[in-house]
């Protein structure tokens, strides 16, 4: 069952990755140009129909996959890097600094991502893919840092760390050789789950106009623009909605499967 | 001259005093048992001997000089001089490392002479484990085998002092006997400090022992003499309580 979820997850994410990469070299239509009638129903020429300006929906959903993955991967890398670094430092820190950092992380976690995104947008030149990645990455880093801090403290309490110290290893090498490999499976699964949440957050930001600016066809933006025509042309909501659901479901399945695959007590001797 | 010693050592964790003026010394080839209840300061003595922590007052001497934990060179030499074996074989080996890497890691980190692979094979054999163990992960071994791997890791530095912290308390009876046999064999060549709350283990391995109570040495001397006629009321209580307990013996 676990392997099945891993495979389903890999296939769903894989399809999105292939589509995202394909958009770099080929698109069925120009996403900004009228290629058919307004609000046309799905057909062989337009698999998901057209929007109210006559632009091909399927093309826009394909571009949406690229934006979702770009923001998801960017935020996951940023959040993972900052979170892991902060978490390891906090685990080694003296009590005062550790407490202060833990309190800061709690506040950051309680802070709504959307509000944080608005602050980032306000502090920068305007909404862009970069601000979306930054806002989601910062929010994600707090969650990862808190997890890494706890996991690192747990690993540092193990006898094999004391043995490593007695074997002449310095703290830097202990972190690289013993701590990171032992916390990696849990952290990777957490990052993967956060990746799914980042994709949803990106769609939310775009829906509110705080994500990738037009003409980038983010899924959130597609949902927002199709909102007024939902009863006349429901495909405009269904297509990006299904794509979003498939990607997030795929990421969650993949994370779940990875958790099992990376468990050291389950692998072959 | 003592091989390793503690001289009037005081130690506290924050405001909690752990050791009060503890002194002890070991000669080359000697085996010393440290007996005491949980929280008596036994493991703290080992941590001080390992240089993992510093005494508040008093000194730890090893190999003829005061142990300066701030000196990198001194500590590197000390790591080759003294090695630990821990209580829980399930937490003392990194689950993500193969036995080969577990055994060769100290060899590289301590810049030991000789071929790391050959040394790993040597200590593995000394630990009574088959050579094909090198390419397996700790999860492939039983508790007793894991403890033997931990002992093998300690031996790779060819230390002169082996510090064993309750090395058999987490093992079943049959495994316990095999590990005690291995430690007995090693104690013929090494200086052994054995921390335990189990009088039978101390009696089996250590001709000399000290009894710790709340961070103070309340009795010290030959194990046989202490067991025959304990002088301190705490030791008497400890031995009396053991007689009323259904205990495993090695």
Q: How far apart are CA B74 and CA B131, in angstroms?
A: 34
Q: Which residues of A touch B78 (CB under 8 A)?
A: none
Min distance B204 CA to chain A CA atoms (Å): 25
pLDDT of residue A41: 84
Does residue A43 fall inside a structural domain?
A: no
Q: How many CB atoms lie within 10 A of CB B142?
A: 12
pLDDT of residue B250: 43
Does residue A35 fall inside a structural domain?
A: no
Cross-chain residue pair B52–A162, CB shorter than 8 Å:
yes
Cross-chain residue pair A166–B79, CB shorter than 8 Å:
yes
Does residue A87 fall inside a structural domain?
A: yes
For the beta sheet containing B161-165, the strands, ordered from the edge strand earlier in sequence to the opposite edge, are B82-85, B161-165, B191-196, B31-36, B208-213, B216-222
Cross-chain residue pair B109–A169, CB shorter than 8 Å:
yes
Cross-chain residue pair B95–A169, CB shorter than 8 Å:
no
pLDDT of residue A2: 66
pLDDT of residue B138: 95
With an 8 Å Cβ cutoff, is B104 touching chain A? no
Burial class (CB in 10 A: 0-12, 13-18, 19+), B77: middle
With an 8 Å Cβ cutoff, is B150 touching chain A? yes
Distances (CA, A) of B121 to B46, B112, B125, B158: 28, 15, 6, 14
Q: How far apart are CA B234 and CA B39, in angstroms?
A: 15
Q: Which residues of B touch A269 (CB under 8 A)?
A: 136-137, 139-140
Q: Which residues of B touch A181 (CB under 8 A)?
A: 94, 96
Does residue A38 fall inside a structural domain?
A: no
Cross-chain residue pair A269–B86, CB shorter than 8 Å:
no
Query: How is residue A56 annotated by DSSP?
Result: B
pLDDT of residue B205: 92
Q: How far apart are CA A109 and CA A139, in angstroms?
A: 7
**pLDDT tens track for A6-26:** 999 999 999 999 999 999 999
Query: How is residue A178 annotated by DSSP?
Result: I
Give the residue, B221 or A210, on which the prediction is more confident: B221
Could you tell me if B67 and B61 are in contact, meaning their C-beta atoms sit under 8 angstroms apart? yes
Helices (H) and strands (E) in chain B, counts: 9, 10
Kindly report the average pLDDT of chain A as a whole number: 89
Could you tell me if B137 and B98 are in contact, meaning their C-beta atoms sit under 8 angstroms apart? yes
pLDDT of residue A37: 82
pLDDT of residue A1: 62
Residue from B43, B78, B85, B94 whose CB has the most chain A CBs within 10 Å, to mutate: B94
Could you tell me if A89 and A147 are in contact, meaning their C-beta atoms sit under 8 angstroms apart? no
- Among A214-218, A243-247, B221-225, which is the least confidently predicted range? A214-218
Q: Which residues of B touch A165 (CB under 8 A)?
A: 52
ipTM: 0.91
Q: Which residues contact B126 (CB under 8 A, 6 or more apart)?
A: B152, B155, B186
B216-222/B208-213 β-pairing: antiparallel
**pLDDT tens track for A100-113:** 888 888 888 888 87
Please tell me the pTM assigned to this model. 0.87
Token pair 């709504």 is at which residue? A112
Which domains does chain B possess? 4-90+162-243 (3.40.50.300)
Q: How far apart are CA B78 and CA A194, in angstroms?
A: 45
Does residue A188 fall inside a structural domain?
A: yes
Residue from B109, B145, B146 whose CB has the most chain A CBs within 10 Å, to mutate: B109
Query: Which residue in chain A is spatially nearest to B136 when comparing CA positions?
Result: A269
Q: How far apart are CA B206 and CA B229, in angstroms?
A: 17
Q: Which residues of B touch A163 (CB under 8 A)?
A: 84, 86, 92, 150, 153
What is the full per-residue pLDDT of chain B (250 aa) written as tens digits?
Answer: 789 999 999 999 888 999 999 999 999 999 999 998 888 999 999 999 999 999 999 999 999 899 999 999 999 999 999 999 999 999 999 999 999 999 999 999 999 999 999 999 999 998 889 989 999 999 999 999 999 999 999 999 999 999 999 998 888 888 888 888 899 999 899 999 999 888 888 998 999 999 999 999 999 999 999 999 999 999 998 888 776 655 444 4
- Among A167-171, A226-230, B24-28, B107-111, which is the least confidently predicted range? A226-230
Residue B238 is encoded by which pair of tokens?
């400890």
Q: How far apart are CA A56 and CA A236, in angstroms?
A: 10
Q: pLDDT band for position A228 (50/70/90)?
A: confident
Q: Which residues of A touch B93 (CB under 8 A)?
A: 160
Could you tell me if B161 and B196 are in contact, meaning their C-beta atoms sit under 8 angstroms apart? no
CATH number at residue A113: 1.10.3720.10
Q: Provide mean pLDDT across the span A224-239.
A: 88
Count up the domains in chain A and report the number: 1
Of B92, B137, B139, the CB nearest to A160: B92
Q: Provide mean pLDDT across the span A227-249.
A: 91
CB pairs under 8 A between A and B: 65
Range of the domain at A21: 2-25+55-261
Q: Which residues of B touch A182 (CB under 8 A)?
A: 94-96
Q: Which residues of A touch B83 (CB under 8 A)?
A: 166
Residue from A96, A155, A158, A160 whose CB has the most chain B CBs within 10 Å, to mutate: A160
Does residue A41 fall inside a structural domain?
A: no
With an 8 Å Cβ cutoff, is B139 touching chain A? yes
Residues A55, A59, A61, A63, CA torsion sign: negative
Burial class (CB in 10 A: 0-12, 13-18, 19+), A222: buried
Min distance A152 CA to chain B CA atoms (Å): 14
pLDDT of residue A94: 82
Cross-chain residue pair B52–A165, CB shorter than 8 Å:
yes
Residue A49 confidence (pLDDT) above 90: no
Of B50, B88, B91, the CB nearest to A166: B50
With an 8 Å Cβ cutoff, is B71 touching chain A? no
């Amino acid at each position: 069952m676990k392997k099945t979820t891993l495979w389903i997850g890999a296939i769903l994410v894989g399809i999105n990755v292939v589509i995202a990469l394909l958009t770099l070299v080929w698109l069925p239509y120009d996403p900004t140009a009228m290629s058919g009638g307004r609000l046309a129903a799905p057909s062989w020429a337009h698999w998901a129909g057209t929007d109210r300006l006559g632009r091909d929906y399927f093309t826009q959903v394909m571009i949406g996959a690229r934006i979702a993955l770009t923001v998801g991967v960017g935020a996951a890398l940023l959040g993972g890097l900052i979170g892991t670094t902060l978490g390891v430092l906090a685990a080694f820190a003296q009590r005062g600094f550790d407490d202060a950092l833990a309190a800061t992380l709690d506040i950051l976690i309680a802070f709504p991502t959307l509000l944080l995104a608005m602050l980032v947008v306000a502090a920068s030149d305007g909404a862009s893919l970069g601000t979306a990645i930054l806002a989601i990455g910062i929010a994600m880093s707090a969650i990862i840092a808190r997890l890494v801090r706890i996991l690192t403290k747990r690993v540092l309490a193990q006898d094999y760390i004391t043995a490593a110290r007695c074997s002449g290893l310095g703290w830097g090498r202990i972190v690289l050789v013993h701590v990171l490999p032992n916390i990696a499976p849990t952290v990777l699964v957490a990052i993967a789950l956060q990746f799914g949440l980042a994709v949803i957050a990106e769609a939310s930001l775009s829906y509110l106009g705080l994500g990738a600016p037009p003409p980038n066809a983010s899924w959130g933006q597609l949902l927002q623009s199709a909102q007024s025509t939902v009863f006349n042309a429901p495909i405009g909501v269904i297509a990006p909605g299904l794509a979003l659901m498939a990607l997030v479901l795929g990421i969650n399945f993949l994370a779940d499967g990875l958790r099992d695959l990376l468990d050291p007590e389950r692998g072959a001797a | 001259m003592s091989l390793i010693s503690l001289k009037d050592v005081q130690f506290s964790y924050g405001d909690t005093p752990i050791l009060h003026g503890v002194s002890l010394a070991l000669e080359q080839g000697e085996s010393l048992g440290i007996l005491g209840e949980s929280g008596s300061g036994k493991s703290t003595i080992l941590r001080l001997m390992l240089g993992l922590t510093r005494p508040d007052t008093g000194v730890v001497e090893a190999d003829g000089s005061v142990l300066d934990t701030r000196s990198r060179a001194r500590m590197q030499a000390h790591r080759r001089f003294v090695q630990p074996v821990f209580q829980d074989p399930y937490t003392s080996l990194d689950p993500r490392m193969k036995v080969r890497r577990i055994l060769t890691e100290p060899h590289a980190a301590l810049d030991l002479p000789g071929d790391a692979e050959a040394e790993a094979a040597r200590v593995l054999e000394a630990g009574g484990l088959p050579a094909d163990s090198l390419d397996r992960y700790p999860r492939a071994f039983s508790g007793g085998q894991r403890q033997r791997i931990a002992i093998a890791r300690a031996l790779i530095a060819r230390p002169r002092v082996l510090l064993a912290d309750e090395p058999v308390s987490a093992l079943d009876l049959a495994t316990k006997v095999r590990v005690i046999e291995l430690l007995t064999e090693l104690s013929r060549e090494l200086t052994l400090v054995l921390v335990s709350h189990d009088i039978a283990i101390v009696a089996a391995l250590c001709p000399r022992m000290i009894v710790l109570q709340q961070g103070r040495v309340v009795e010290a001397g030959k194990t046989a003499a202490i067991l025959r006629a304990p002088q301190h009321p705490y030791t008497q209580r400890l031995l009396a309580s053991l007689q009323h307990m259904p205990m495993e013996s090695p």
